[in-house]
């Protein structure tokens, strides 16, 4: 079987159904790509280990960029919300949801880390 192309935004899948969606998430996870967009929504699959994608280099890389221009990342969502707040002069909200043990607290910590940087 030829290697399947992975899509960093599920809206880009040529055939969007449950099977292709799950296969794409599985393929990305195997490559340690734990973040995937669905439009402006970010799906995170908890790797249950630390990945080297939370250092100052990534903070700088995702500073003041457009969503979708770089690989999906929690820093991208934080940055877009922050700049929308500045431009619109209105409060912003980021909803983090998931089951117990899914990594909500850790995601919140990464999000706050980017905002404070």
pLDDT digits (tens, 9 = 90+) for 1-43: 445 788 999 999 999 899 999 999 999 999 999 999 999 999 9
**pTM (2 d.p.):** 0.90
CA distances to 7, 38, 66, 79, 111 from 4, in Å: 10, 19, 26, 30, 31
Nearest Cα neighbor of 43 from 65, 64, 22, 20 is 22
Would the annotation count 68 as a binding residue?
Answer: no
84-115 per-position pLDDT tens digit:
999 999 999 999 999 998 999 999 999 999 99
Domains of the chain, with CATH numbers? 10-116 (3.40.850.10)
Q: Cα(101)–Cα(91) distance, rounded to whole angstroms?
A: 29
Would the annotation count 103 as a binding residue?
Answer: yes
Would the annotation count 12 as a binding residue?
Answer: no
| Helices 74-88 & 104-116 angle (0-180, nearest 10) | 50
């Amino acid at each position: 079987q030829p290697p399947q192309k992975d899509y960093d935004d599920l809206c880009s899948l040529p055939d969007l159904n449950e099977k292709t969606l799950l296969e794409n998430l599985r393929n990305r996870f195997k490559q340690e790509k734990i973040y995937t967009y669905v439009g402006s929504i970010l799906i995170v699959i908890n790797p249950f280990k630390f990945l080297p994608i939370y250092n100052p280099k990534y903070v700088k890389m995702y500073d003041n960029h457009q969503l979708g221009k770089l690989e999906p990342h929690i820093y991208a969502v934080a940055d877009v919300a922050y700049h929308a707040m500045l431009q619109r002069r209105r409060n912003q909200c980021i909803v983090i949801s998931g089951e117990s043990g899914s990594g909500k607290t850790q995601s919140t910590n990464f999000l706050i880390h980017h905002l404070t940087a």
